Structure 1
């Protein structure tokens, strides 16, 4: 049986919404938190579409790690910064050759 985290359990975390998660600070300061774009919540487990700790490197399609206890909704400026940096990260991945393989398969 999976253990639930009572601190991050929330039935109404809408998908497509950006939250900040923190291990010990309930204020979830942006400089020290995990940014996570919600995919879904199921059985008390939060699944993320993408996440980043530093807005430079991103991780995709994973569960929220268990040690994150607190969360808050991202501000509009935090959402803007996250989406801009995510798009930049994806463009850089395409330019480095990761996306070229996909394009040749489509042709």
Structure 2
């Protein structure tokens, strides 16, 4: 097992009450770096879902995976309430883990 092994379920958002993404990892800092730099093509890169708004540590990957699967079945309101209970201002928790703020993508305007 490598030294940063810490099973974790996390939720990213594009902004307050924005597009949500739920994932699971054994190395949250490494995974956040991948999401924030768009190193992995996919949903979070396509929809600019880069703000860490909630996470939960687990003792085993099996527990984390079960929790992730449960959360993914939840309706949107339940997910929003989960974030709001522990992070009512929708602060980007990645900043507390040493990350720089992510620029929020502004809507395109015609000229």
Per the normalisation by structure 2, the TM-score is 0.29
Q: Judging by fraction of residues, say which structure has more helix.
A: 2
Structure exhibiting the larger radius of gyration computed from Cα positions:
1
Going by fraction, where is strand more abundant, 1 or 2?
1
